[in-house]
A and B are shown apart, each in its own frame.
Chain A
């Protein structure tokens, strides 16, 4: 199943500048794996050995995947994934 993933500005250098990309998978983890195939380096920016990096938030719709099963969170048709990283600048 294809899902739209919204890429925040700090990570767009890995998606050729695209603010939205499409990835395939039935779970958030599968989506991240497909993202890595299509945009090498992205996985490492999102995950570490324990799962989603502590300064990254991944939302499916309005839900933070930390509260919905993490990388095992199942996706349904029409879901949209948004990545919100911690940033420090001003």
Chain B
């Protein structure tokens, strides 16, 4: 990496939403890559079953707030990093304000309401966002530009209200989230460097080890980036938890 690219990263601010299986390795990759400031938002405590995939934590962290343990782990390996821990959930009342404070949002949450909320908040704050998700052996990543589509809602429209494919399939394979998180960090760094990475859906299958890139298109009727755009502000009712929330 050139000196100018390093300086760009050192002056950059990235918000990681979720300090779980995706957020931990994504934050670590961002920190080690030279991103100057990493914010992490999560209100959970570290639990023993997290440890196989949440690589910033050890058994000694069980019971600690995740963002506190994550910040300590990141500073241990990258002492010059500025970490901004937010012991909170990304919720309708704080989402846009959080996104506004950063250059790129890395959405590493584990539930649909937060994914759609982060997508909407980033768009309203005019920030780029990198979505990631993994269930068992299947993972996806998608980068969306600060000016919108093709966006998460172009792909998936709205929260599943019924029978989402993941409902009966809880469980995450550690190496799969590691792959997806690495791609998310890669995409975030690419965005910070001005690379054209938008409009591509990355999928990874941990059983066949097949990784694919697929171009996606914006939907004219998309509520977030279509015309007219129906989502002009965050309304809490849009993100009501469904029974598919895992």
Decide if the interface of chain A is mainly helix, strand, loop or mixed: mixed
Interface size, chain B (Cβ < 8 Å): 52
Interface pairs (9), CB distance under 8 Å: A8-B205, A9-B137, A45-B163, A86-B155, A86-B156, A86-B160, A86-B164, A86-B166, A90-B110
Give the total of A residues in contact with B, Cβ under 8 Å: 27
- A interface with B by C-beta (< 8 Å): 8-11, 13, 19, 44-45, 48, 53-57, 59, 62, 64, 66-67, 82, 84-90
Cβ of B51 within 8 Å of any chain A Cβ, yes or no, is: no
Taken residue by residue from 64 to 105, chain B's Cβ proximity to chain A (1 for < 8 Å, 0 otherwise) reads as 000000000000000000000000000000000000000000
Q: Is the beta-carbon distance between A10 and B215 smaller than 8 angstroms?
A: no
| B172 is an interface residue with CB less than 8 A from chain A | yes
Is there a chain A Cβ closer than 8 Å to B1's Cβ?
Answer: no
Determine if B27 is an interface residue (Cβ-Cβ < 8 Å).
no
User: Is the CB–CB distance between A88 and B246 below 8 Å?
Assistant: yes
Residues in B with CB closer than 8 Å to A89 are: 21, 110, 133-136, 166, 170-172, 246
Q: Give Cα A8–Cα B246 distance, bound, in whole angstroms.
A: 18
